[in-house]
Amino acid sequence: MKVLIVTQYFHPENFRVNDLAEWLAERGHEVTVLTGIPNYPSGRYFSGYGLFQRRIETWNRISVVRVPQIPRGGGGVLRLALNYLSFAFMASLYGLYRLSGKHDVIFVHEPSPVTVGIPAIAMHKRSGAPIFFWVLDLWPESVAAAGDVRAPWVLGLLARLTRWIYGHCEKVLVASRAFIPRVGAMGVAEDRIVYFPNWAEDIFQPSAVIEPPVPLSRGFRVMFAGNIGVAQDFPAILEAAERLKDYPDIHWIVLGDGRMGEWVRQEVVRRGIGNTVHLLGSYPPEQMPRFFAHADVMLVSLKRSPIFALTIPGKIQSYLACGRPVVAMLDGEGARVVRESGAGLACPAEDAGGLAEAVLALANMPQDRREEMGRKGRHYFEANFSRDMLFRSLETWMAETVKEKER
C-alpha cells in the first residue's frame, strides 16, 4: 500500500508514530510522512533543520516532507495557536503542491491538536484515499481541561471543527476505550470507531542492569520520564517530594523537559529539596531502558480532570514493557491499568499526600515483591499492548478498507 502519514510531530521528535512509520516501511509499504519542522518540546527548530534546511529527506526508507510552521516557542496560548494553525494551513497547501496525491490510505496521528486533520482532508479530497484518524487527545475537552481556553464560543467552534474532521474519516481510532462514547457523541457511527491503544517501541524491554548514561544518586529511586507540562501536575509531585524530604534515601529522578521545566527547577530550589529531586534533562528514547533498569519505581501522573481520567498516558506502556513497578497519581483508565495489571500502586489525581504514602509503602516493601509487580506489568503489556499485534491489526484494517474502495 501507499501510505501517507500526516503528523505535526515526527523524527527527530520523539513520538510513537516514528515507530509505526518504520514498521510499515519494513513491511514493504511505500510510506510518505507530511510533517512540520521539528521543534518539540524545546519550542525552537532543531539544529540542522529550518525554513531552508532539510525540508525533504529520506529516513529509514520513509519519504519525509516538512512544511514551514511557526515554532511553539515557550508554549503560551497564542504561540501554540499560531503553531497549530500555521502547520494546518501550510501542510494543506504544501501537501497539495508537493505530493502526487496517489495514496491508498491516509493515517493521521493526533496527540494534539485536532487541526492536524485539516491537511489530511485536503489530501483526501485530492486522492479519495480513506482517512484513519488516531485520536490520542480529545478535543475540545482537553483544551478546556488544560485551562488555556475557557471562552464558550471558542470551545464551541473547536467542537464543530472536530465533528467536521471526524465526519471525513473512514475510521476513527481511539487510544482508550473510554474515548468511544465521546467520539460517538461527535456523530461517528459505532462501526467506524476502533480501539487502537498505545504500545511501546521494541527498545523497551526488561533490561540487564548496566550503567546508566549518567550517574544516579544512591538510594530508592522514583523515576519520571517524559514531558514536564501542566497536565503532569508537577506541583503535586514536588509537594509529595517535599513531604518525604526527611527520608534522604528516597530520590526523585526526572528525565525530560517541557513548558513547566523552568518552573520546576525554580521550585526545587525554593522548596529546598535539591538533595532528593534531580532534574537530569532530556535523553534519546533508546537510552531510556538503561535509566529504567536503575529505577525502583516509575512515576506517572495527570491532573484531576474528567478528560484526563479517560486517558491512558503513553508512558504507562513503556514502564510496563520494561517490567518496572509503577506508582500512579491519576484517575480513571490509567489508574485502572496499573491496578488491574498488578504492576504497582495508584492514588487519586492531585493527591500529593497519597503519592507520598504510596512511594513510602513501595520503599518499605521487600524488593522481591516489587520485582513481582514488574513481572506482572510485563505480562499485562504482552497481552494488551503488544506492538506487533497492534500494528498487524492496523495493517489488516487498512488493507480491507482499500480493497472495499477498489470494488
Give me the residue spans of the domains in the chain. Answer: 2-199+386-406, 220-384
Q: Residue 106 is inside which H or E element, if any?
A: strand 105-110
> How far is it, in rounded angstroms, from Cα 92 to Cα 88?
6
> How far is it, in rounded angstroms, from Cα 224 to Cα 291?
10
Q: What DSSP character marks residue 12?
A: T
Task: State pLDDT tens for residues 227-269.
Answer: 999 889 999 999 999 999 999 999 999 999 988 999 999 999 9
Task: State pLDDT tens for residues 130-182.
Answer: 999 999 999 998 888 766 777 889 889 999 999 999 999 999 999 999 999 99
Q: Is the domain covering 220-384 a CATH 3.40.50.2000 domain?
A: yes
Question: Among 404, 311, 397, which Cα is nearest to 132's?
Answer: 397
Parallel, antiparallel or unpaired: strands 220-225 and 250-255: parallel
Residues of the chain with pLDDT under 70: 146-147, 208-209
Give 350-357 contacts, CB < 8 A, sequence gap 24+: 350/233, 350/236, 350/303, 350/304, 351/236, 352/236, 352/237, 352/239, 352/240, 352/243, 353/240, 353/243, 354/329, 355/236, 355/237, 355/240, 355/301, 355/327, 355/329, 356/240, 356/243, 356/244
Question: The C-alpha cell of 306 is what?
Answer: 474528567
Distance of CA 62 to the CA centre of its chain: 21
* Residue 189: Cβ-neighbour burial (10 angstroms; 0-12, 13-18, 19+): exposed
CB 347 within 8 A of CB 358: yes
CA distance readout (Å), 201 to 133, 234, 317: 20, 26, 9
CA dihedral of 10, 12, 17, 21, whole degrees rounded to 10: 90
CA dihedral of 62, 66, 72, 77, whole degrees rounded to 10: -100
| Homologous superfamily assigned to 2-199+386-406 | Glycogen Phosphorylase B; (3.40.50.2000)
Which amino acid makes up residue 399?
Answer: A
* Residue 344: Cβ-neighbour burial (10 angstroms; 0-12, 13-18, 19+): buried
Predicted TM-score (pTM) of the model is 0.85
HSE (side-chain half, CA atoms, 13 Å) at 339: 12
What contacts 249, CB < 8 A, 6 or more positions away? 218, 219, 220, 363
> How far is it, in rounded angstroms, from Cα 223 to Cα 361?
16
Domains 2-199+386-406 and 220-384 share a fold: yes
CB 13 within 8 A of CB 38: yes
